[in-house]
Amino acid sequence: MKNTIYLLVLFSFASLKSEAQTILDIDSNSYNTVVIGTQTWMQENLKTTRFNNGILIPTTSLPIFNDTTMLFQWPYNDDTTYINIYGRLYTWNIARGSDNVCPVGWKVPNKSDWDTLSNFLGGDSIAGGKMKEIGTAHWLITDSTVDNSSGFTGLGGGFRGNPSGFRNLGSNGSFWSSTPFGTNGIYPRGFGYSLFSNTSTLSSSVAVGNNGKSIRCIKEVTASIDNTSFKNKIQLFPNPAKDRVIISLEELRNYQLSIYDLLGKSLYQQKLVDKINYLDITFLPRGTYLIQLIAEDHVVSYKFIKH
C-alpha cells in the first residue's frame, strides 16, 4: 500500500545541504556550487574581469573617489596568484549595477538573500561557523564551532579599503550584497556581510561603495512549482519501513536524494535516475529520518520511520 508522506518544513533542519552543478562565468572560470535550503550558492568567490555582457571591468590604483562611476576589481594585494583561491575584490557599484557580473542565470545576492541564508543556518550568531572552511589553510585561527556544515566554504579573503588598501587576509572574508544603504546619491554605500577567524558570527554592516569586497553569486529563482502538486507526483512507501523504501516519481526531474537524521547530519546521498527507485535502508538504525529531494526549481523533504 502506498502512503503519501507529509511535506516537512525545510527550515527547521539547519544543516541540510546538497551538492549542485558546476558553472562557468564569461571568462570560463569554473565554480563549484552548493544547495543550502531553498537557495543555490557558488562555493567560491567570483573571479571574472567582465560583466556577463562582455563589458570589461578594469583595475586601478589607490586612491579612488566614491561615486557611481567607480567600477573596478582587484586581486588581493594586486597579486594574481591569489585569484584562484580567493577570487577578486569588487567595488559595490559592480555588485549593484544593471550589468550583471554573475554568470547568466545567477545574480549578486541582495540583503534578503543573505538574511534567508543566515536564518536557515540558525541566525547570525552561529551561521558563520557553518559557513567557514574548516582548518587554518585559509584562516589564521579556527575552533570547534567551525564545521562548514552548510557547504558554503567561506575563506578569509580579506578586503580592499580606500585609502587603507588591502587588509585582513586570513582573518576576514567580506562579501557584498546588491542592496543599497539609504538613497546613496553621489556617494554610494551598500550592505555587506563578513566572516571572521575569531568568531562564528555572520556579521552584517554598511560599507562605502569604493571598498573592494568579494562577491558570491546566488542562483536566480525563475520558476517555482506548487509543492502541493508533488504530494501526488512523488510517493514514498512503505512507511514505516524495515529493509528498503520505494520512491515512485511521476516524472523524472534530475533529483538529488539525501537522507538526514533529525539533527541534520547527512547520512546518504544518490541521484534518482529512474521513475521507480529502491532505496536500501538496512544500514540505518531504528529511528526517524528525513529524505530530501532537490531539483532545479524546488526542494521537498519527507519523514519516514525505520523499524
Residue 288: is it exposed, middle or buried by C-beta count within 10 angstroms (0-12/13-18/19+)? exposed
Domains and CATH numbers, the chain: 38-219 (no CATH), 224-306 (2.60.40.3080)
Chain position carrying cell 554605500: 189
Percent of the chain at pLDDT above 90?
62
Q: Please check the confidence at residue 13 and state whether its pLDDT lies above 50.
A: no
DSSP string, 77-127: GG-GGGHHHH-EEE-HHHHHSSS--SPTTEE---HHHHHHHHHHTT-HHHH
Which pLDDT score is estimated for 265?
A: 66
Question: In Å, what is the CA distance from 174 to each residue of 70, 157, 216, 257?
Answer: 19, 7, 10, 32
Task: Express as a percent the part of the chain with pLDDT over 70.
Answer: 87
Band (162; pLDDT cuts 50, 70, 90): confident
Give the tens place of pLDDT for each residue, 61-118: 878 888 878 899 999 999 999 999 999 999 999 999 788 999 888 999 999 999 999 9
pLDDT at position 223 over 50: no
CB atoms within 10 A of CB 170: 16
How confident is the model at residue 14, as a pLDDT?
36
**pLDDT tens, residue by residue, 122-131:** 999 999 999 9
